[in-house]
Copies of this chain bind each other. A is one copy, B any other.
Amino acid sequence: MKRIEVIKRLLKEKLELKGGNLTEQRVAVFDYLSQVENHPTAEEVFLAVKRKMPKISLATVYKNLEALVECGLISKLAHGDGAARYDIRTDQHYHTHCLKCGKILDMDIEDDLLAGLSIPEDFVATGYRLELLGHCSNCK
């Protein structure tokens, strides 16, 4: 089975759980994200997808990224300074975040940092975010 067919099957399954539909635009957005190493902004996804699908709208990209996040197919990296970024991975992992160019990259470490952490009683933790801040190879 072709790669794109695998993606369509996965998306259809996951989207249906939330009452969403499979569309060509959603496939294109997800497909692009799954091909890149970095974590692009909505704008970057838009520009890339636009090349293969010239009529797609930026608003559609935003809406579809949101829909994919909703059904757990991708994750959103909102770091505050500048635009949010999107990540094909949904498992817990950490990132390096360049303060100069804003690029976010995966950092592969197996340790569960929260393991030994004493969480406040009155707070229900559902997850956590760890980012290493600094300068990437290009910017240092």
Q: Are A123 and B137 in contact (CB under 8 A)?
A: yes
Query: In the bound complex, how far is the Cα of B131 from the Cα of A127, in angstroms?
Result: 9
Contact B136–A122 (Cβ < 8 Å): yes
- Tally A residues with Cβ within 8 Å of B: 37
Q: Please, what's the 1-or-0 string for A112-138, where 1 marks a CB less than 8 Å from any CB in chain B?
A: 011011111011111111111111110
A140 CB–B CB distance under 8 Å: yes
Interface of A is mostly: loop
Q: Which of A77-103 contact B (CB under 8 A)?
A: 77-81, 84, 96, 98-99
- Of B81, B96, B111, the residue contacting A120 (CB under 8 A) is B96
CA distance A138 to B134 in the complex (A): 35
A125–chain B nearest beta-carbon distance, Å: 4
Contact call A125/B132, Cβ cutoff below 8 A: yes
Complex Cα spacing A78 to B99, Å: 12
A121 and chain B: residue at smallest CB distance: B137
- Of all chain B residues, the one with the shortest Cβ separation from A113 is B113
The answer to whether A109 has its CB under 8 Å from any CB of chain B is: yes
CB <8 Å contact, B129 and A125: no
The chain A residues found within 8 Å of chain B, CB to CB, are 77-81, 84, 96, 98-99, 105, 107, 109, 111, 113-114, 116-120, 122-137, 140
